[in-house]
Chains A and B, each alone.
Chain A
Amino acid sequence: MLVFTRRKGESLIIGNEIEVTVLNLGSGNVKLGISAPRHISVHRQEVYESIKSENLAASRSQIPGAEVLKKLLG
């Protein structure tokens, strides 16, 4: 992992198009601003991980038969 020290207001450039700026430093947290092209999505890691694991679980879903379909919302 690359490690940088940045002050408030300073930035990092990733590739040619992504800029991460330190906007504010609090006690125990840091506020970051991210400029990225529209096709790059940016998410909080823990939220992204929850979707990832739900997708993995859903890819192993059963195929509902008629009985199950009847019981489920339709």
Chain B
Amino acid sequence: MEETRTLLIRTLSFGEIEVPENRILSFAEGLPGFPNHHRFVILSFDDLKPFEYLQALDEPPLAFLVINPFLVLTGYRMELSDPDSADLVAADPAELTVYAVANIPEDPSRATVNLFAPIVVNEKNRKGRQFLLHDSGYSVKHPLLKSAEGSGG
């Protein structure tokens, strides 16, 4: 019987975590700003919902807080243009998972989420990529607060 091998990864926020190898996502190009981080894994914690962590396996330690963009903006839609998405476009849309990168600064009322550049993962081949939705009109810094109240300053 085949055993699933696990990797021990070092995280900044959660200490060392064991990750099954078959959960590893491969980002051929890395991410803009992080071209040398190619292997990531999604970490889910009950007390962090609806957020999850996109945790890099490559050094130096790197992690992103991510959220399903459809939870942030009802009617969110993305069209993957053909040349951009060879690894992903052939897939059944149900096999794709979409994550938006969130950014919560020290003042959480200024929390934002990047709806312009979602991260798309093909669950079947475990490949991922961050897409830039050029003509979408979505914001790189979409506010995350429920209401605009208290979002000043």
Q: How far is the CA of A19 from the CA of B130 in the complex (A)?
A: 24
Interface string of B83-118 (1 = CB under 8 A from A): 110110000000000000111111011010010110
Of B29, B32, B65, B145, the residue contacting A61 (CB under 8 A) is B65
Residues of B within 8 A of A61 (CB): 64-65, 102-105
B1 proximal to A (CB < 8 A): no
- Report the nearest B residue to A66, measured CB to CB: B47
Instruction: Identify which of A44, A71, A73 gathers the most chain B CB atoms within 10 Å of its CB.
Output: A73
Q: Is there an interface contact between B104 and A68, defined as CB atoms closer than 8 Å?
A: yes
Once A47-B134, A59-B63, A62-B104 are accepted as A-B contacts, the answer to whether A54 and B71 lie under 8 Å apart by CB is: no
Q: How far is the CA of A48 from the CA of B104 in the complex (A)?
A: 21
Q: Is there an interface contact between A38 and B117, defined as CB atoms closer than 8 Å?
A: no
What's the interface size class on A, roughly? Answer: 20 to 34
A53 proximal to B (CB < 8 A): yes
B41 proximal to A (CB < 8 A): no
Q: How far is the CA of A44 from the CA of B86 in the complex (A)?
A: 20
Q: How far is the CA of A63 from the CA of B105 in the complex (A)?
A: 9
Once A41-B29, A58-B103, A58-B114 are accepted as A-B contacts, the answer to whether A74 and B71 lie under 8 Å apart by CB is: yes
Residues of A within 8 A of B124 (CB): none
Q: Is there an interface contact between A55 and B146, defined as CB atoms closer than 8 Å?
A: no
Judged by DSSP, the binding face of B is mixed
Residues of A within 8 A of B13 (CB): 63
- Report the nearest B residue to A64, measured CB to CB: B104
Residues of B within 8 A of A55 (CB): 31-34, 64, 101, 130
Q: Is there an interface contact between A56 and B33, defined as CB atoms closer than 8 Å?
A: yes
Residues of B within 8 A of A41 (CB): 29, 84, 129, 132
Interface residues of B (CB under 8 A from A): 13, 28-29, 31-34, 47-51, 62-65, 71-72, 83-84, 86-87, 101-106, 108-109, 111, 114, 116-117, 129-130, 132, 134, 140-141, 144-146
Interface residues of A (CB under 8 A from B): 38-39, 41, 43-44, 47-48, 50-59, 61-64, 66, 68-69, 71-74
Return the 5 tightest CB-CB contacts between A and B, nearest first. Answer: A38-B86, A52-B33, A58-B103, A55-B33, A52-B32
